[in-house]
Amino acid sequence: MPGKKINIFDTTLRDGEQVPGCKLNTKEKIELALALEDLGVDIIEAGFPISSPGDFNSVREITKVIKNASVCGLSRAVQKDIEVAADALKYAVRPRIHTGIGTSDIHIRGKFNSNREEILLRAIQCVKWAKSFVDDVEFYAEDAGRTENEYLARVIEAVIAAGATVVNIPDTTGYCLPHQYGEKIAYLVKNVPNIDKATISCHCHNDLGLATANSIAGIISGAGQIECTINGLGERAGNTSLEECVMIIKQHHSLGFYTNINTQKLNPVSHLVSETMRMPVQPNKAIVGSNAFAHSSGIHQDGFLKEALTYEIINPDEVGADGSKIVLTARSGRSALAHRFQKLGYQFNRNDIDVLYQQFVEVADKKKEVKDDDLHEMAKQYHAEEVGI
């Protein structure tokens, strides 16, 4: 596989599960964790063990069944949180503790009523505590998106020196523009002397619809891990969508990256997550929405039927989707109508289609979508008129 491997850190079971209405029980979490491992994710963030006995139990049970992926538990920069996370992870083949603290002045003053020096010490301390339990410690600098770069670089250098193996640079509020987020990662690559001792991770939220773009800007600037969720689920407007990042990396191989994701499983896993978390996927969602491979306007349908590449940059099979769809609406043209009649077994010539098309647009103007039953009815009437019934 050419290029640089980008680790996929899935947080559907932690940041995704924080969404109101998406809460999962242990059995559901285990089922999704197994599906994520089968999909090929490198790290599964299984939960926030201190948050509730139920979540502690889910994380622990997940560690018993996951054999290939790393299993990660979240904690705050609080000793008790870290101890409980370590306990929940004690059966994991590859345990990772994810610990950290807010580093922006807004968080330092507004949330902790503290100052930069105290927060720096707490950051170092939490990594040391976590390191006493596991080798693999990820540090998050919450609200890094709004943290001044110079201070962020000091914190990151210090936590790497304390033993962090992964440094997470979250755009917690989805505030950054792609070039700003990319520049932040580039700044850390350039200004943190020990940065080669850790992997930089992108964790972006979607408040301005930029989570995926920001994560891609991050890896272009040197990050080696993307934190994401299936269907982009997550706090408020969601997290970076796993399927979008993976397919951007695959489609744009000239970027020089690859992932371990089996892309044919993207749609099946998306459906499983949507059903289990009771959270429908918007129809126009990239890669996994029901309209992601649907063509409904005449211009597009005509081009697509002549050559699929004209209007599809991804083969639906490659992402495990049901296939391309030609949807008949009042905006459809004769090619699509002729194609559908042919699929239904009718042999109409050009003249027939011209006549039938007039009836079709009248029906289509009254309905949102013209279905096969409507076409059978039109064909029946057309034949009846032809033989003069």
| Min separation Cβ 15 and Zn ion, Å | 4
Q: Which of 11, 138, 160, 9 is nearest to 77 (CA)?
A: 138
Which residue's Cβ has the minimum distance to ligand KIV? Answer: 170
| Min separation Cβ 207 and Zn ion, Å | 11
Q: SS3 of 253, please? A: helix
In the bound state with ligand KIV, the residue whose beta carbon lies nearer, of 63 and 168, is 168
DSSP at 229:
B
- Helix segments in the chain, DSSP class H: 26-39, 53-65, 79-88, 105-110, 116-131, 149-161, 178-191, 211-220, 242-251, 266-276, 298-306, 334-343, 350-366, 372-386
In the bound state with ligand KIV, the residue whose beta carbon lies nearer, of 140 and 175, is 140
Residue type, 285: K
Any idea which residue has 């989570």 for tokens? 211
**By the rule CB under 5 A, 37 interacts with Zn ion:** no
Which residue's Cβ has the minimum distance to Zn ion? Answer: 15
| Min separation Cβ 298 and Zn ion, Å | 43
In the bound state with ligand KIV, the residue whose beta carbon lies nearer, of 173 and 324, is 173
Q: Give the interface segment with Zn ion, choosing from 7-15, 137-145, 245-253, 259-267 (CB under 5 A).
A: 7-15
| Min separation Cβ 64 and Zn ion, Å | 26
Residues 91-130 interacting with Zn ion (rule: CB under 5 A): none
- CA-to-CA distance for 233 and 12, rounded, in angstroms? 7
Residue 168 partner contact from ligand KIV, Zn ion, none using kind-dependent CB cut-offs of 5 to 8 Å: ligand KIV
DSSP codes of every residue in 319-358: GT----EE---TT--HHHHHHHHHHTT----HHHHHHHHH
Q: SS3 of 197, please? A: helix
| Min separation Cβ 289 and ligand KIV, Å | 24
Number of residues that bind Zn ion (CB under 5 A): 1
Tokens of 383: 């034949």
In the bound state with ligand KIV, the residue whose beta carbon lies nearer, of 205 and 300, is 205
- Residues paired with 7 in a beta bridge: 225
In the bound state with ligand KIV, the residue whose beta carbon lies nearer, of 70 and 168, is 168
In the bound state with Zn ion, the residue whose beta carbon lies nearer, of 15 and 37, is 15
| Min separation Cβ 18 and Zn ion, Å | 8
Pairing outcome for strands 166-171 and 136-142: parallel
Q: Which of 6, 8, 9, 15 binds Zn ion (CB under 5 A)?
A: 15
| Min separation Cβ 356 and Zn ion, Å | 53
Residue 142 partner contact from ligand KIV, Zn ion, none using kind-dependent CB cut-offs of 5 to 8 Å: ligand KIV
Residue 231 partner contact from ligand KIV, Zn ion, none using kind-dependent CB cut-offs of 5 to 8 Å: none
In the bound state with ligand KIV, the residue whose beta carbon lies nearer, of 172 and 276, is 172
Pairing outcome for strands 43-47 and 257-258: unpaired
Q: CB atoms < 10 A from the CB of 178, how many?
A: 17
Which residues make up the interface to ligand KIV (CB under 6 A)?
15, 140, 142, 168, 170, 172, 203, 205
Q: CB atoms < 10 A from the CB of 168, how many?
A: 24
- List residues binding Zn ion (CB under 5 A): 15
